[in-house]
Amino acid sequence: MPPSLLARPVARLPEYVRLSGRVLYLTEDPDLITRQLAGEDLAWSPAIKLRDNISTDEITPAYICYYFDDTLGEFPYLGLKAGDEFPIGRGSVKRGGFVASAAGKRRGKGSSREQSPYAEMRAGIQLVAGESIERIYHENCQNLGILTTTDFTVLERVKRGEAIPLAVFTDGEGQITRDIIEYGGLFNYNVARLQGAVTVPEVSTAPRPMTIAEKIFARHWVVDAAAGRTGVAAVAPSDEGFVVTDIRFSHEYVTPMAAIFFEQYVGKDEALNDPASIFFFRDHLTFLREAMTPERIAEGLLDIANQLEIKQREFAAARGVKLYGELGLGRLGSEAICHSKILEVHALPGQIIIGSDSHTPHAGAVGCIAFGVGTTAIFNSWITRDVRVQVPHSFRVVVRGRKPDHITAKDIMLQLLRHPYVKNGEAIGQVVEYGGEVVEALSVDERATMTNMAAEVGAFTGIIAPDDRTVDFLVEQRGMARAEAVRLCEGLFSDPGAEYVKEIEIDASALKPMVALPGDPGNGREIGELGERVTIDIAYAGSCTAGKREDMDMYARVFREATNRGRQVAPGVRCYIQCGSQDVFRYCQAQGYDRVFAQVGATFIEPSCGACINAGPGVSRSKGEVTISAINRNFPGRSGPGQLYLASPYTVAASALAGYITAWEPEPATARVV
């Protein structure tokens, strides 16, 4: 334990809390929001529709996250779309004297960025309410000390100025979560834990049939942190405790804020716990100067964003942490997107991995528990090396039948995301376990698309049991001895009789190419259901979800057949192809794909998150522009102000050639765009 924490005083919050201020209702009607910002207190009733699916991209758009201090309090909800308007401006929430805000279903979905609740907190928001609240955002609120509720009667008590029992916010929670709330956040709780002031409840679950996820949790369960003892016989959903992590990683959006927290609360000269298992990435903003508008550059935002890189690089050097950085020497781009590199090089079956990105479940493709956490959890893990969990329930997605050649993992996910169980938020915080003969036949790359997009499901994580394909991946891509790869996979399967709260079955033979309409990945449609032709301006092929080797195979397959027939990217369409890592970039060069892409008129660019985070070539510049993209989410403003449709690599490539959204059908020796 760092000496600076031994004598740090921590105390529980009072038994009653009084929240003095107004309530901001985030409604679908922009006029109602504007009136509240102007000083009117809304007499809300359920007849007034609140905005559902408010993403963290809307709470703090990507460019707001260049700030990592109290300045964030000027910006909450700047990207919030109500109707066709964006009614909230800089500083308006803070000036309004709001102490609470309320929204509808699935509040806080999307990115794990803790800047979102931190911005709310610094604007004066002490209580967030939602009909349902997404797992990472919810946990980030608790870690920061923001109160949360799904009981809207609490808001009436706030309006009346009542002293509200703290128990209102802790009832129904596990002991650890109650303690975190009562100590005002995760850091104070962890100090109390390390000082012995609070006791972590023991897990006494009797041996039982377990899912693969539960087995991994049980193996990593912290029994005695001081003695380094881990592992219990069994765990069950709702068991609460800490698990030791094998890998912790963060990128430049998060590392600087976490570093400031560490230096402020722990000490500038204190060491990190096991820095060899920590990785930093400069992957989100390496193309930023290519995408940032002149207006924002004039505001100084590029200079502010560059401070993220400097702080992360200096902190990594001082603490001995491996940094996967930007390319430099006049080349834009990065060594790799964080979760792409973790899967390519580091993740092993049976591990627990935490990362500062909601798409950390990418690594679940090889049978590990990988999940996204916020800044506070990352910073605390640098002290303890563990992370708190409440064992989630699991649901199972079984994909059966014979998958058509042109149907991809992305099509399967867009089909799943429109399932009512997912669409209505019932899957929030659960583990999604994928199985069935179709999943078993997928490559690790395609499996990673499915586990990656567990984030869009709202799940805790996604996982696929390791098998012979996993062994082949470890041997061929990692150079691991086959016997060692087989040993790592032993026992990593769900037991007969393991409990699932839901099983969803998808018949792959009935699937058709899918597209998600702008606004939400859950807006899935078969392309044939679009009706009128949707003309496109941009085709973006890449990112972590769609920048793997097999994704590149798909783009190249369509484009190679097109060049053989003398076809090119349609006039007026800007087409970009961006890899997830330098390993994939070199693979494309070795396969000659870079030449194929050039021949067809696509622009092949170095790895980076890029357009997916509104920070690289491929972003839209106006509301009227239409993009077809293979990225994982299309929340408002995610990749520019235009209309963003999601689709598979095949569909993106075919649409780039046609100039409008269309599916691709393989034919013997030719490709036919329909």
CATH number where 85 lies:
3.20.19.10
Final residue of a structural domain among 104, 137, 160: 160
Q: Are 149 and 129 in contact (CB under 8 A)?
A: yes
How far apart, in whole angstroms, are the C-alpha atoms of residue 225 and residue 194?
9
Q: Is 319 exposed, middle or buried (0-12, 13-18, 19+ CB in 10 A)?
A: middle
Strand 352-355 with 247-251, pairing? parallel
> Is the sign of the CA dihedral 383, 386, 389, 394 positive or negative?
positive
Residue spans of alpha helices (H) in 273-358: 288-291, 294-298, 301-319, 338-341
pLDDT band for position 629 (cuts 50, 70, 90): very high
Residue spans of alpha helices (H) in 385-501: 409-417, 420-423, 437-441, 444-452, 454-457, 468-478, 482-489
Residue 363 lies in a domain: no
Reduced 3-state DSSP string for 233-294 = CCCCCCCEEEEECCEEEEECCCHHHHHHHHHHHCCCCCCCCCHHHEEEECCCCCCHHHHCCH
Quote the tokens at residue 668.
């013997």
Q: Return the residue matching tokens 């690599």.
A: 649
How far apart, in whole angstroms, are the C-alpha atoms of residue 573 and residue 593?
20
Q: Return the residue matching tokens 């939602």.
A: 130
Q: What is the dihedral of CA 205, 367, 360, 204, to 10 degrees?
A: 10
Residue spans of alpha helices (H) in 349-467: 375-384, 409-417, 420-423, 437-441, 444-452, 454-457
Q: What share of the chain is helix, strand, coil (3-state, %, to 5)?
A: 40, 20, 40
How far apart, in whole angstroms, are the C-alpha atoms of residue 459 and residue 294?
38
The pLDDT of residue 668: 64
User: How far, CA to CA in Å, does 593 sit from each of 53, 542, 597?
Assistant: 38, 14, 6
How far apart, in whole angstroms, are the C-alpha atoms of residue 160 and residue 79?
30
Mean pLDDT estimate for the chain: 94
pLDDT tens string 148-198: 999 999 999 999 999 999 999 999 999 999 999 999 999 999 999 988 899
Final residue of a structural domain among 127, 160, 193: 160
Quote the tokens at residue 213.
């996820």
Residue 263 lies in a domain: no
| Short-list 291, 279, 271, CA closest to 254 | 279
* Average pLDDT rounded to a whole number, residues 106-111: 90
pLDDT tens string 531-572: 889 999 999 998 889 999 999 999 999 999 999 999 999 999
pLDDT tens string 320-353: 999 999 987 778 899 999 999 999 999 999 999 9
Quote the tokens at residue 79.
């990207």
Residue 262 lies in a domain: no
Q: Are 122 and 148 in contact (CB under 8 A)?
A: no
The pLDDT of residue 437: 97
Judged against a pLDDT cut of 60, whether residue 667 lies above it is answered with yes
Residue 601 lies in a domain: yes
Q: Are 432 and 397 in contact (CB under 8 A)?
A: yes
Question: Strand 278-281's sheet: what is its strand order?
Answer: 322-324, 278-281, 247-251, 352-355, 369-372
Q: Helices H, strands E: what count in the chain?
A: 28, 30
The pLDDT of residue 328: 79
Q: Is 651 exposed, middle or buried (0-12, 13-18, 19+ CB in 10 A)?
A: buried
Q: Are 166 and 14 in contact (CB under 8 A)?
A: yes
| Short-list 95, 76, 137, 112, CA closest to 254 | 112
Quote the tokens at residue 13.
């919050």
Q: What is the pTM of this model?
A: 0.90
The pLDDT of residue 141: 96
Q: DSSP character for 388?
A: E
Q: Are 13 and 185 in contact (CB under 8 A)?
A: no
Strand 626-629 with 538-542, pairing? parallel
Percent of the chain with pLDDT over 90: 85
Q: DSSP character for 430?
A: P
User: How far, CA to CA in Å, does 199 sit from each of 136, 196, 223, 550?
Assistant: 24, 7, 11, 48
* Identity at 448, one-letter amino acid code: A
Q: Which helix (H) or strand (E) holds 463?
A: strand 461-463
Final residue of a structural domain among 160, 189, 214: 160
pLDDT tens string 36-89: 999 999 999 999 999 999 999 999 998 898 888 889 999 999 999 999 999 999
Domain that holds residue 524: 514-673
pLDDT tens string 258-304: 999 999 999 999 999 999 999 999 999 888 888 888 888 888 888 98
| Short-list 535, 522, 516, 537, CA closest to 620 | 537
Residue 609 lies in a domain: yes
Q: How many domains, the chain?
A: 2
Q: Are 621 and 591 in contact (CB under 8 A)?
A: no
Residue 141 lies in a domain: yes
Residue 261 lies in a domain: no
The pLDDT of residue 90: 96
Q: Assign residue 667 the CATH number of its domain.
A: 3.30.499.10
Residue 76 lies in a domain: yes
The pLDDT of residue 225: 84
The pLDDT of residue 671: 41
In DSSP terms, 399 is beta-bridged to 506
* Average pLDDT rounded to a whole number, residues 316-321: 97
| Short-list 611, 618, 610, CA closest to 286 | 610
Greatest Cα pair distance in the chain: 74
pLDDT tens string 200-214: 999 999 999 999 999
Phi, psi of 535 (to 5 degrees): -75, 140
How far apart, in whole angstroms, are the C-alpha atoms of residue 168 and residue 55?
26
